[in-house]
Amino acid sequence: MRGIVFDGERLQLTDALSVRDPGAGEVRVRVLRSGICHSDLNMVEGGMIRTPVVLGHEAAGEVAELGDGVEGFAVGDRVMVGTQTPCGKCRECERGSPANCDTTWGMTAGQPFTWNGRPTYSFSNVSSFAGEIVVKASQLYKTGDLPAEQAALIGCAVSTGHGAARNLGKVGQGDRVVVIGVGGIGVNAITSAALTGAQVLAVDLNPAKAQVAMDAGATRFLTAERGMDARALADALQSAFAPIDVAIECSGAAVAAEAAIVGTKRGGRVVLIGQSGVGARASFDLNGVTMGKEIVATLNGGARPETDYPELIALAQAHKIDLAAQVTQVWPLAEFEDAIAALHSGKVTRAVLDHTA
């Protein structure tokens, strides 16, 4: 089958990729669309992963084969794939925090693929850059008539942004919320906060993101100036939107994280959800936090798949969240380099690859 493999030096398109058969409780999925996330690019640029590896973790497709004991799915069902594989039995799972599963969320990569005869690693329990993947049945959620390019985003960008606002930020009606970074996750944090009745200030370095932010439900937009230090950015946030009840940092920039911490009010909450580069550091005044301020960060925005994913699918089908607007463009798989360049440029909200083209 076709797929994109990272060999430790570069990403390359290949048709010499295969995947093992599904075992008990597993499903083979034919991937139709895959989102590209900055987390995938961080793996390429940061040298943080074993290779060769098939990256990608936003997948939608159709069931191709059922492993032993799988119920509730049939060959041909349209599905999206979640990244979480919590054990369901540990202390964290039993108290409703699957994103903090004590088994490390199943993040120890296996080697379900073979590429030119070499065992090849998976990534984030998905590997959506492959034409076919084998995943746990518990990762799958039926999507019905939702277009695959929209459904693919739910596994990361949509659920993470939603969880950042609802589960971690605990955003409520009338809250004043700042969302820094209007990318795939930021757009969904804006939408979810706005759906609760919050006022939202969206912040980005790129002024062209203003319309995207406003369409997603932002109340106001602030263009951050490149080169600002944390204090200057925090001052700009407070000048535009004080008091700030919740700040959701989606860019991964250390200066933005520091500004979010400084800029929120006493008793406020700071959600750090943007993925930073290797070795990134942030600092803050400890007294400013201990006087009354909460800082929280959890993978996938603390999403609870069994409840959050079906809810998000239903919201998308009812057009209460506009996933179509988030898909800036769909590229044929062979044009993945163009898609990545567009994502790097900041010109797209989400870039999606088409495995059928």
Question: CA-CA distance, 202 to 22, in Å (whole number)?
Answer: 43
Judge whether 317 lies within some domain.
no
CA distance 343 to 337: 10
Closest by alpha carbon to 204, among 213, 217, 194?
A: 213
**Per-residue confidence (pLDDT) for residue 62, from 0 to 100:** 98
Examine residue 17 and state whether it is found in any structural domain, yes or no: yes
- Whether residue 332 is found in the same domain as residue 282: no
Residue 305 falls inside a structural domain: no
Instruction: Check whether residue 339 and residue 270 sit in a common domain.
Output: no
Say if residue 127 is in the same domain as residue 180: no
Please state, in angstroms and rounded to a whole number, the distance separating the CA atoms of residues 52 and 6. Answer: 6
Q: Residue 165 is part of a domain; what is its CATH number?
A: 3.40.50.720
Distance between CA atoms of residues 128 and 67, nearest Å: 19
Predicted pLDDT of residue 109: 82
- Between the alpha carbon of residue 170 and those of residues 98, 179, 192, 193, 248, the distances in Å are 17, 14, 11, 9, 11
Q: Cβ contacts of residue 295 below 8 Å, gap of 6+? A: 261, 269, 270, 272, 289
**Mean pLDDT on 239-264:** 96
Tell me: do 223 and 290 sit in the same domain: yes
Q: What is the CATH number of the domain that holds 106?
A: 3.90.180.10
Are residues 221 and 343 located together in one domain of the fold?
A: no
Mean pLDDT of the chain: 94
For residue range 296-305, what is the model confidence (pLDDT) as tens digits? 998 899 988 9
- Domain of residue 130: give its range: 3-146+323-354
By percentage, how much of the chain surpasses pLDDT 70? 98
- Considering the domain architecture, whether residues 173 and 224 belong to the same structural domain is answered as yes
Q: Are residues 126 and 167 in the same domain?
A: no
Shared domain for 88 and 57, answered yes or no, is: yes
Residue 170 lies in a domain: yes
Residue 154 domain flag: no
| pLDDT tens, residue by residue, 85-142 | 888 889 988 888 888 888 766 567 899 999 999 999 999 999 999 999 999 999 999 9
Would residue 291 count as lying in a domain?
yes
Q: Does 140 lie in the same domain as 197?
A: no
- The yes-or-no verdict on residue 196 having pLDDT over 80 is yes
> Could you report the per-residue pLDDT of 307-348, keeping only the tens digit for each?
999 999 999 999 999 999 999 999 999 999 999 999 888 878
Condensed to tens digits (0 to 9), the pLDDT of residues 202-241 reads 999 999 999 999 999 999 999 999 999 999 999 999 999 9
Q: For residue 47, is pLDDT > 90?
A: no
pLDDT of amino acid 104:
62
How much is the pLDDT for 279?
80
Does residue 111 lie within any of the structural domains? yes
Q: Do 178 and 203 meet the contact criterion of CB atoms below 8 Å apart?
A: yes
Query: Does the residue 313 lie in any domain?
Result: no
Distances in Å between the alpha carbon of 171 and those of 60, 189, 194, 197, 218? 29, 10, 9, 9, 14
- Six token digits for residue 184: 């795939």
Q: According to the model, what pLDDT value does residue 77 have?
A: 98
Query: Would you say how long the chain is, in residues?
Result: 357
* Pair type for strands 17-19 and 176-180: unpaired
254, 269, 300 — which closes off a domain? Answer: 300
pLDDT value for 93? 87
pLDDT category of residue 197 using cuts at 50, 70 and 90: very high
In the chain, the number of structural domains is: 2
Please report the pLDDT score of residue 100 as a whole number: 84
Alpha-carbon gap, residue 54 to 130, rounded angstroms: 7
Are residues 41 and 96 part of one domain? yes
- Say if CB 131 and CB 57 are below 8 A apart: no
Which tokens sit at 42? 């961080």
* Pair 231, 277 in one domain: yes
Positive or negative CA dihedral for 194, 200, 205, 211?
positive
Answer yes or no: do 133 and 44 share one domain.
Answer: yes
86, 54, 147, 67 alpha-carbon torsion, rounded to 10°: -60
